[in-house]
Each structure stands twice: as C-alpha cells, then as structure tokens.
C-alpha cells in the first residue's frame, strides 16, 4: 500500500538520496519509490518546494545538466552543510523511531 510522505520527513529522505550522487528531481522521487518497493510516493507538489528549501538553506546545490539527448535537467548535489544535516536528520530519525518502537513494543505485552 503506497502512501504519500509527511512533509516533515521529506528533507531527510531527499538528503539521503542526493548523497548517493548527482541526481535530478524526477530521479529522486523514483529512487525513493524503488528503495521502499513503492510504499512511499513523493509528489511534485512536495518534492520541488523541499528541494528549493534545501538549496536556500545551503544543503544542496543545483545546476543545469545537458545530457546531450533530450532536454536539460536540473541536477542536485549535497554540500558539506548537506552532509552534516543528513547526519543530524538520521540521528533525529533514529531517536524518534526508537521512541515509537518503545511504546508499540511495551503496549503489545
């Protein structure tokens, strides 16, 4: 069952995918779908505003890439700030996930 992402989770996921290497927006959305076997869907209305915000915050840089065939595409790469933010977001996610798991496991008994 596919679900759309919560707005607060999007930046961390974008940073994780962009950390794999230079990628365009559509590729980011498809990679998230691929990694989650289609369980998480990222819509354009959430993707591009989040990318602009990450760029404005200095966590990613973008440039136009001309692939030689087809139209030019805007591609994104992580900055040093983005790598630090990715680590911070991962730690925050681990703490959140551990807290939710603690409640679910404890109340399962």
Domain holding 88, by residue range, is 3-107
Q: Could you tell me the strand order of the sheet in which 23-24 lies?
A: 23-24, 73-78, 60-65
Task: Evaluate whether 61 touches 76 at the Cβ level (below 8 Å).
Answer: yes
Rounded Cα–Cα distance for residues 13 and 17 (Å): 6
Instruction: Give mean pLDDT, residues 87-107.
Output: 92
Q: pTM for the full model? A: 0.87
The first and second tokens of residue 49, run together, are 């505003």
Q: How many domains does the chain have?
A: 1
| pLDDT tens, position by position, 2-35 | 666 667 889 999 999 999 999 999 999 999 999 9
| pLDDT tens, position by position, 75-91 | 999 999 999 999 999 99
Give the count of beta carbons closer than 10 Å to the beta carbon of residue 75.
20
The CATH number covering residue 92 comes to 1.10.10.10
| pLDDT tens, position by position, 41-50 | 988 899 999 9
């Amino acid at each position: 069952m596919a679900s759309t992402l919560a707005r607060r989770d999007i930046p961390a996921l974008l940073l994780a995918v962009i950390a794999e290497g230079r990628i365009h927006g559509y590729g980011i959305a498809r990679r998230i779908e691929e990694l989650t076997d289609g369980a998480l869907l990222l819509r354009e209305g959430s993707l591009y505003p989040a990318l602009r915000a990450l760029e404005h915050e200095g966590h990613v840089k973008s440039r136009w890439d001309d692939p030689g065939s087809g139209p030019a595409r805007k591609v994104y790469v992580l900055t040093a700030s983005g790598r630090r933010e990715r680590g911070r977001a991962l730690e925050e996610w681990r703490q959140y996930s551990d807290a939710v798991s603690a409640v679910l496991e404890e109340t399962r008994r």
